[in-house]
Amino acid sequence: MAGRKKRAATGRPYHHGHLREALIEAALAEIRRSGSTGLSLRAVAQRAGVSAAAPYRHFQDKEELLAALAEEGFTALASQMEEAGARAANARERLEILGQAYVSFARSHPEHFRILFGPELADLERHRAAQAAGERAFALLVDAVERCQEEGSVRRGEPRSLARAAWAMAHGLASLAVAGRLPDAEETVPRSLSLFAAGLGPLDRAGGRGEA
Amino acid sequence: MAGRKKRAATGRPYHHGHLREALIEAALAEIRRSGSTGLSLRAVAQRAGVSAAAPYRHFQDKEELLAALAEEGFTALASQMEEAGARAANARERLEILGQAYVSFARSHPEHFRILFGPELADLERHRAAQAAGERAFALLVDAVERCQEEGSVRRGEPRSLARAAWAMAHGLASLAVAGRLPDAEETVPRSLSLFAAGLGPLDRAGGRGEA
DNA sequence: CAAGAATGTTGACAGCAGCAACATCTTAAT
DNA sequence: ATTAAGATGTTGCTGCTGTCAACATTCTTG
């Protein structure tokens, strides 16, 4: 009569109840400890207080767990960007802030960020949920570009195409920072982003040169 | 008396002779086959026709083998960039071509490219040779920026700082492409690069806006 | 309340990185 | 030329890993 279930002896019931979420959280804790490369399904299971085979009731694969982490990550990234972007005075500033938030997320959660673009999830078609979450984040950029165009602070052109370029800029800074190749990120990131934003500007004068 | 050594029976001598180079080459072949993540030291050894423990006479670690691959990769990247850049008419065009060559290398050797910035080699300090090779590639960009400045096609400012931004732009495109996130790379890459180059231009008019 | 579906456990397998002990070949000092 | 030392390769082992099949327990639903 001690426990509310029969399992008073061991302390916890046979069924976990929220194992899937618990595994995701345990995995996040685990990559913080030992990196995204060294992530071991067994360690995750143990941290969640469950046997090594238990995760297979919720994930087909280790890869599918990683995909779940990616979905989580993309969602967190998007909401962090959204929150940061809300503090912008105009569309142009908002676009730059989104880029900064992108890099900022990568630098605060490097191991998590790595998973989003890691080799295990190279073909994202097979992980629709993660893919969708990623596209939701990308949509923020597209929207920001469109607003800039309305505002007149970004040249005309396919917003998706321009947003892809902006994404690549931010992603490059984020990747290099995470790879430890951007020692003075604090300076380099905003400088690079505003450099890029200058190129995005309308064709008043600059950019009309270049290709014959 | 058949073989030139005593080992006529097995076909090859006890000592390999060029095992280190052979292992590097075998590893490159192996990542082409099964990806950079699944790279197994044992498979590499087997492909080189040698026992599983033999590599440890030439590399302290699996990580050290990866570092050797990275050195190789950075060197190949640099020479591919250099070769492409030689075909440019002026400094400005050269800078853009260097960026295209960077992305092009990543797209032709995606698994090899991944290693250059992978998590295993996050602290590049421990692999001086690879680090030096990487810096040689980066120096190409710095030099290109300087020439552009002399030519008047790039704004004034610390060349290393501007080159870092350019590097990030190219690296972002390359990373996204390698991660399978840039489906229409053929179009996006040159477009993004020239967009960025526009922002790099002198301050005649564009870019002077932005930060108050 | 019984049957079946969910969800957990145990025990096993093959593949992995890395190590120690041993074997073979090369080189250099005598 | 001989031989001791060092370099390089092999075998066999340990502890870890992802994944599976067989079994146990619990939840759910007729």
Helix (H/G/I), strand (E/B), else coil: B97: helix
**In sequence order, which ranges of chain A are alpha helices (DSSP H)?**
19-34, 41-47, 62-85, 91-108, 110-116, 128-151, 159-178, 185-200
Angle subtended at Cα A54 by Cα A50 and Cα A55, rounded to the nearest 5 degrees: 105
| Residue B172 burial by Cβ neighbours in a 10 Å radius (0-12, 13-18, 19+) | buried
pLDDT bracket for residue B204 (50, 70, 90): low
Per-residue model confidence as pLDDT tens digits over A121-171: 999 999 999 999 999 999 999 999 999 999 999 999 999 999 999 999 999
Domain B62-205 fold is Tetracycline Repressor; domain 2 (1.10.357)
Per-residue pLDDT of chain A (212 residues; tens, 9 = 90+): 333 334 444 556 656 679 999 999 999 999 999 999 999 999 999 999 999 999 999 999 999 999 999 999 999 999 999 999 999 999 999 999 999 999 999 999 999 999 999 999 999 999 999 999 999 999 999 999 999 999 999 999 999 999 999 999 999 999 999 999 999 999 999 999 999 999 999 976 444 443 33
Strand C–CB B43 distance below 7 A: yes
Taking an 8 Å cut-off on Cβ atoms, the answer to whether B192 and A114 are in contact is: no
User: Which positions on chain D have an atom < 7 Å from some protein CB?
Assistant: 7-13, 16-22, 25-27
Residues of A in Cβ contact (< 8 Å) with B167: 172, 176
Per-residue model confidence (pLDDT) at position B2: 31
- The B residues from 72 to 111 touching A (CB cutoff 8 Å) are 92, 96, 111
Instruction: Please indicate whether, in this complex, the C-beta atoms of A204 and B209 are within 8 angstroms of each other.
Output: no
Residue with the two structure tokens 């990487």: B134
Q: Tell me how many degrees the CA angle B171-B173-B174 measures, rounded to the nearest 5.
A: 60
CB A89 within 8 A of CB A152: no
pLDDT at B208 exceeding the cut of 90:
no
Q: Is the pTM of this model over 0.85?
A: yes
Query: How crowded is residue A208: how many other Cβ atoms within 10 Å of its Cβ?
Result: 11
**A138 to each of A77, A122, A175, B26, how far by Cα in Å?**
10, 17, 16, 39
How does DSSP classify residue B121? G
| Burial class for A136, CB neighbours closer than 10 Å (0-12, 13-18, 19+) | middle
Q: Which residues of A touch B31 (CB under 8 A)?
A: none
Domain locations in chain B as residue ranges: 8-57, 62-205
CATH of domain B8-57: 1.10.10
List pLDDT tens digits, range B116-166.
999 999 999 999 999 999 999 999 999 999 999 999 999 999 999 999 999
At B71 the pLDDT is: 97
State pLDDT tens for residues B13-38.
656 679 999 999 999 999 999 999 99
The two structure tokens encoding residue A122: 């190279």
Closest-CA distance, A49 to chain B, in angstroms, reads 28
- Indicate whether B72 pLDDT > 80: yes
* A·B CB contacts under 8 A: 170
Confidence of residue B203 (pLDDT cuts 50, 70, 90): confident
Strand D footprint, Cβ within 7 Å: A 5-7, 13-15, 39-43, 52-53, 56, 60-63; B 14-17, 19, 45, 50-54, 57-58
CA A102 to chain centre: 8
Return the SS3 of A38: coil
